[in-house]
C-alpha cells in the first residue's frame, strides 16, 4: 500500500505544480522533495545537492549544449535560402513538386540541428512564402512542414536521444546510429503522402515549374555542398568511430562557424545571439534533467519503480501489448508535456519495465522519439503548432487539422518499427565501437 499512496502523492503534487505554471524542472524537484520528506529518513537537501551534481557533471552530457549551439549558429545563416535553392531543381520533377522541399529541407537541417523548433523555423521561413507564391494549397504547405519538422527529434544529432541516452546510461553514438534509418523511412512516408495528394487531388496542383537543363540543376546544387559536408563530417566521424558524440559536436560547432563565415553572416551580433540562445535552451534542459534525476532517486527510495515493474510483470503482458499500452500512454502524456520532459519524467518507471520484458533499449529509444514526435503536433501543447501559428497567423485548430495525416503516418511508423525492429537496430549493431 505504501507504493499506492506514494503514487497518488507524487501525481497530485506533480500536477498541482505543473498546473500552477511552475517550470518543469522545478516541478520535478518539488515532487522529489515531498517524496523524500514523506517516505525516507535521508535529509532531502543533502540528497538533492548530491544527485543534481552527479547528474549534471556527466561528460556525455557536454554534447548537448554543443549540438544546440551548432543549430543556433546555422539558424542565423542563409542556410534555409541556400537549401531551398539547391533542392528545388530536383524536387520539382517529383509528383507533388516543390512541397517535397519541406520534407527534404527538414531532413537535411535536422541532421545539423537536433531541434524540432529550429528545424521548423529555419525551413519554414523560406519555404512558406516560396510555396505560397507558386500556388500550393495552404493546408499542404503547413501540414507537411509541421510533420517534417519533427524529424529534428530523430535524425542525429537529436537532443531527445541525447537526453534519453544520459537518462538510461546508454551509448549516445549507438542511439544516433539507430535514428538514421527510421528517420529516413519516416521522411519517405511523408513524401509518399505528398505523392498521394498529387494524384488524388489533381485540381489542386499548381502550374508546372519551368524546365531546367541538367547542367543548370547541377549548378544550383552547389548551394547544398556546405551543409552536406557538415552533415557527413559530424555523423560520419561517429559512424566510423573517429569521434565520440561529444567530440563530433565540437567539430560541428567549428564547422558551423566556418560555414557562417563563408556565407558572411558571422559577426559579433550573430555569434553572441547564437551563444545566448544555446545557453538558454541548454539551461532549460539541464534543469529538467536535474529534477528528473532527483525524482528518480526519490522514487527509488519508495520502491515505486520496482513495484510497478513487478506489477506489469505479474500481468504477463507480451512485449507487443506493452508497446501498444506505452504508445497510448506517451501520446496522451505528449499532449501536455514536451518530448524531453516526457522522456525524463517517465524513464525511472518505464526503464525497468522494458528491461523486464526483454525489449532492446536502443530500439525503445527510437520508439519513444517517434511517439513524442507526435506531441510536437498534437494540441493543446503541441510546440510546433504554436511556432507555425506565429509564422502563419492561422488558428491553432486549423494548423492541428492540417497535421492530422502526419500524426497518422507517425503511428504507422510505430507499426513499422514493431514489425521490422532491424530498421532501428541494424546500424548500431554494425557501427564501429566508439567510447561515446
Give pLDDT tens digits for 209-237.
677 777 777 777 787 788 788 878 887 88
Full-model pTM? 0.75
Contact indicator for 159, 64 with CB cutoff of 8 Å: yes
Residue 436, pLDDT above cutoff 50: no
Question: Does residue 120 lie within any of the structural domains?
Answer: yes
Q: How confident is the model at residue 190 (pLDDT cuts 50, 70, 90)?
A: very high
Quick one: pLDDT at residue 387?
A: 74
Question: Does residue 35 lie within any of the structural domains?
Answer: no
Question: Does residue 36 lie within any of the structural domains?
Answer: no
Arithmetic mean of pLDDT, 96-124: 79
The residue count of the chain comes to: 436
Quick one: pLDDT at residue 336?
A: 62
Quick one: pLDDT at residue 59?
A: 67
Quick one: pLDDT at residue 434?
A: 44
Please give the C-alpha separations between residue 211 and each of 45, 206, 217, 350, in angstroms, as whole numbers.
68, 15, 10, 54
Question: Does residue 32 lie within any of the structural domains?
Answer: no
Q: How many C-beta atoms surround the C-beta of residue 62 within 10 A?
A: 17
Would you list the DSSP string of 335-401?
A: TTS-HHHHHHHHHHHHHHHHHHTT--HHHHHHHHHHHHHHHTTSSSS-HHHHHHHHHH---HHHHHH
Question: Does residue 7 lie within any of the structural domains?
Answer: no
Residue 185, pLDDT above cutoff 90: yes
Exposure pattern of 203-235 as b/e (b: 16+ CB <10 Å)?
eebeeeeeebeeeeeeebbebbebbeebbebbb
Residue 404, pLDDT above cutoff 80: yes
The whole-chain average pLDDT of the chain stands at: 79
More confident residue, 110 or 180: 180
Which domain, by its residues, includes 331?
60-202+216-430
More confident residue, 417 or 295: 417
Residue 166, pLDDT above cutoff 90: no
Helices 245-262, 225-239: axis angle to 10 degrees equals: 170
Quick one: pLDDT at residue 435?
A: 45
More confident residue, 2 or 428: 428
Nearest alpha-carbon partner for 113 in 264, 279, 227:
227
At 148, list the grid cell: 517534417
Question: Does residue 210 lie within any of the structural domains?
Answer: no
Residue 371, pLDDT above cutoff 80: yes
Phi, psi angles (nearest 5°) of residue 336: -125, -15
Arithmetic mean of pLDDT, 420-424: 91
CA atoms within 13 A of residue 56's CA, in its CB half-sphere: 19
More confident residue, 243 or 308: 243
Least confident of 50-59, 278-287, 419-428: 50-59
- Structural domains in the chain (count): 1
Question: Does residue 164 lie within any of the structural domains?
Answer: yes
Q: Which residue has the cell 515493474?
A: 309
Arithmetic mean of pLDDT, 89-107: 83
Q: How confident is the model at residue 174 (pLDDT cuts 50, 70, 90)?
A: confident
Residue 1, pLDDT above cutoff 60: no
More confident residue, 36 or 196: 196
Contact indicator for 72, 118 with CB cutoff of 8 Å: yes
Question: Does residue 293 lie within any of the structural domains?
Answer: yes
Quick one: pLDDT at residue 189?
A: 93
Percent pLDDT > 90 in the chain is: 8
Arithmetic mean of pLDDT, 385-410: 83
The whole-angstrom separation of Cα 325 and Cα 320 is: 9
Amino acid at each position: 500500500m505504501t507504493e499506492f499512496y506514494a503514487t497518488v502523492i507524487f501525481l497530485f503534487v506533480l500536477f498541482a505544480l505543473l498546473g500552477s505554471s511552475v517550470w518543469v524542472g522545478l516541478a520535478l524537484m518539488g515532487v522529489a522533495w515531498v517524496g523524500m520528506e514523506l517516505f525516507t529518513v535521508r535529509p532531502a537537501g543533502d540528497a538533492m545537492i548530491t544527485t543534481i551534481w552527479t547528474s549534471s557533471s556527466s561528460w556525455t552530457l557536454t554534447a548537448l549544449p554543443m549540438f544546440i549551439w551548432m543549430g543556433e549558429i546555422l539558424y542565423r545563416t542563409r542556410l534555409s535560402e541556400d537549401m531551398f535553392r539547391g533542392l528545388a531543381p530536383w524536387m520539382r520533377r517529383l509528383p507533388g513538386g516543390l512541397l517535397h522541399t519541406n520534407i527534404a529541407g527538414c531532413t537535411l537541417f535536422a541532421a545539423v540541428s537536433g531541434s524540432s523548433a529550429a528545424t521548423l523555423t529555419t525551413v519554414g521561413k523560406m519555404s512558406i512564402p516560396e510555396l505560397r507564391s507558386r500556388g500550393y494549397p495552404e493546408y499542404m504547405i503547413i501540414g507537411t512542414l509541421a510533420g517534417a519538422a519533427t524529424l529534428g527529434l530523430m535524425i542525429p544529432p537529436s537532443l531527445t536521444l541525447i537526453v534519453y541516452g544520459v537518462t538510461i546510461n546508454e551509448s549516445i553514438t549507438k542511439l544516433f546510429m539507430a535514428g538514421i534509418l527510421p528517420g529516413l523511412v519516416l521522411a519517405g512516408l511523408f513524401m509518399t503522402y505528398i505523392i498521394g495528394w498529387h494524384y488524388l487531388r489533381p485540381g489542386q496542383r499548381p502550374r508546372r515549374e519551368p524546365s531546367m537543363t541538367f547542367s543548370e540543376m547541377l549548378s544550383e546544387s552547389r548551394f547544398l555542398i556546405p551543409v552536406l559536408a557538415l552533415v557527413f563530417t559530424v555523423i560520419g566521424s561517429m559512424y566510423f568511430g573517429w569521434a565520440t558524440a561529444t567530440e563530433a559536436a565540437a567539430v560541428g560547432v567549428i564547422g558551423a562557424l566556418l560555414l557562417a563565415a563563408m556565407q558572411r553572416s558571422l559577426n559579433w551580433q550573430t555569434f553572441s545571439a547564437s551563444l545566448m540562445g544555446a545557453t538558454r535552451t541548454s539551461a532549460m534542459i539541464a534543469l529538467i534533467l536535474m529534477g528528473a534525476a532527483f525524482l528518480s532517486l526519490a522514487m527509488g527510495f519508495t520502491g515505486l519503480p520496482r513495484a510497478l515493474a513487478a506489477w506489469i510483470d505479474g500481468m504477463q503482458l507480451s512485449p507487443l501489448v506493452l508497446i501498444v499500452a506505452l504508445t497510448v500512454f506517451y501520446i496522451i502524456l505528449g499532449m501536455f508535456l514536451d518530448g524531453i520532459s516526457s522522456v525524463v519524467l517517465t524513464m525511472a518507471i518505464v526503464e525497468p519495465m522494458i528491461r523486464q520484458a526483454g525489449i532492446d533499449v536502443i530500439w525503445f529509444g527510437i520508439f519513444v522519439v517517434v511517439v513524442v514526435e507526435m506531441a510536437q503536433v498534437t494540441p493543446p501543447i503541441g510546440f510546433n503548432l504554436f511556432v507555425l501559428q506565429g509564422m502563419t497567423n492561422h488558428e491553432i485548430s486549423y494548423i492541428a487539422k492540417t497535421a492530422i495525416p502526419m500524426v497518422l503516418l507517425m503511428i504507422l511508423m510505430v507499426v513499422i518499427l514493431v514489425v521490422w525492429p532491424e530498421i532501428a537496430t541494424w546500424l548500431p549493431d554494425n557501427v564501429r565501437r566508439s567510447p561515446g
